[in-house]
Amino acid sequence: MLCIISFCKGVPGPLRSGFVDLLLTMHLDSHVKMKQVTGQEYLVPLDRDKLLNPKPTGRPEDFLQNLDLDKIPSVSEHISIRPDLHMDPHLLL
């Protein structure tokens, strides 16, 4: 990609942009396929207490009083099988 951008100045614009699009598609295609395959995944909590005792203890009124509707709900430590996209900041256009 860097070769195309810096060294191939003589290549016409449409051909160069088509080749860049091809390289991007080839690079991102496997990541997109893995995201689609793992789209119906389940998060598995790693907290032993939550696995053994999944229901909250205490009165429901106490739970509702401590509930903050402006806060994004958090998930305890978990494992996800979805792949992460690793990008090199030096190659961004």
pLDDT in tens, 25-69: 887 887 788 778 777 766 666 666 655 555 656 666 666 666 665
* Half-sphere exposure at residue 83, Cβ-oriented, CA atoms within 13 angstroms: 13
CA distances from 41 to 16, 47, 63, 81 (A): 39, 18, 28, 7
Q: Does a structural domain hold residue 53? A: yes
Phi/psi at 87 (nearest 5 deg)? -120, 145
Question: Does 24 reside within a domain?
Answer: yes
Q: What is this structure's pTM? A: 0.36
Domain count, the chain: 1
Domain contains 91: no
Residue 1 has pLDDT above 60, yes or no: no
Confidence of residue 24 (pLDDT cuts 50, 70, 90): confident
- Give residue 71's pLDDT: 58
